Amino acid sequence: MFQKSGFGVRQTALVAALLLAGCGTPPSVQAPAPAPVVAAPVPETAASAAARAHYAGVQAALLSESLLRTETAPADAPFTDRNLKENFLKIALFEEYSGGQITQHSHQAPIHLLRWGEPVRVALRFGPAVPATQVATDTARVGSYLSRLAKATGHPIALDDRNPNFWVHIATIDERAAMGPTLNAEMPGLTPGQITSVTQMDDGTYCQVLTQSDDMTSTYARAVAVIPSEHPDLMRMACIDEELAQALGLPNDSNAARPSIFNDDQEFALLTRQDELMLRILYDLALHPGMTEAEARPIVETLATRLMDGNS
């Protein structure tokens, strides 16, 4: 089942020097190593510059409305164990879906509980036009965030290029337009509509994640997240936080969830304390993949009460 909800390695050449010594001959001098070849920056296209300007305006407008907040446990947004339970059930056991992408016309549909069974091995991929400074910053950010997700869930989640099952692409609008073959290779079976939702991402879709699960086990097999590199820093961080957490098994949004990134109002930009608790519930061994909302509800209620009482 599908749901909607590269980092360059510099190679250093090793130069072997043959040192000859002979009686009465001066010592040979090792030639200096050649300077590393640094790829020239890829010039920004007009389309990418326009996207960058658009997203800068979007972030400025959201901030002017006191949105994209970065607190994890704000005093003005308290929540109870009942809130935590109901928010979890709505976000984990319903899905907002319409034709391959989330839109204002999406409808809510009940689903079975989904989560990863295997370790989540994340491959981070940057388009050639992404500046080197941004590559370094985003790589550090993603690595740190994956460690936080692993701690919250108790599940292995880390950057790992050896045999990835989760690809995160940070790319320009031009690079995203040419991403079809890459997506097909990473996620066999994507529909043309799902490919188009990424390659022709509209201005109102800030980022996307596609997940593939095994219907027999209700566990995730693969995921791909696509984030425009033109986003200003805070919006890019918000996309990283939401899409990676959503693809762990929290596919829905709820306007009742506060403080939470799983809310369409954009009030909070980064993973909150309540979001962390929902991830902890999701991966608790008392729950298992494939559960319905009715089956999960009494267990979630117990777990939410325990967590809010301070007992992990």
Q: What is the domain range of residue 194?
A: 81-308
> Which pLDDT tens digits describe the chain residue by residue (312 residues)?
545 552 222 222 322 222 223 334 344 444 554 544 445 678 999 999 999 999 999 999 999 999 999 999 999 999 999 999 999 999 999 987 544 333 344 567 899 999 999 999 999 999 999 999 999 999 999 999 999 999 999 999 999 999 999 999 999 999 999 999 999 999 999 999 999 999 999 988 999 999 999 999 999 999 999 999 999 999 999 999 999 999 999 999 999 999 999 999 999 999 999 999 999 999 999 999 999 999 999 999 999 999 998 644
304-310 own/partner pairs: CB under 8 Å, 24+ apart:
304/81, 304/82, 304/84, 304/85, 304/88, 304/277, 305/81, 307/81, 307/84, 307/277, 307/280, 307/281, 308/80, 308/81, 308/84, 308/277, 309/81
Give the global pTM.
0.84
With beta carbons less than 8 A apart as the criterion, state whether 236 and 202 touch: no
**Run of H or E residues at 222:** strand 219-228
CATH number for position 182: 3.40.390.10
**Does residue 153 fall inside a structural domain?**
yes
Are the C-beta atoms of 108 and 252 separated by less than 8 Å? yes
In a domain, 203, yes or no: yes
Q: HSE (CB half, 13 Å, CA atoms) of 224? A: 24
Helix (H, G, I), strand (E, B) or coil at 165: coil
Residue 292 lies in a domain: yes
> Is residue 71, in this structure, part of any structural domain at all?
no
In a domain, residue 103? The reply is: yes
130 part of a folded domain:
yes
Domain count, the chain: 1
172 contacts 228 by C-beta, under 8 angstroms: yes
The answer as to whether 68 is a domain residue is: no
- For residue 278, count CB atoms less than 10 angstroms from its CB and return exposed for 0-12, middle for 13-18, buried for 19 or more: buried
Contact between 225 and 126 under an 8 Å Cβ cutoff? The reply is no
Q: Is residue 23 part of a domain?
A: no
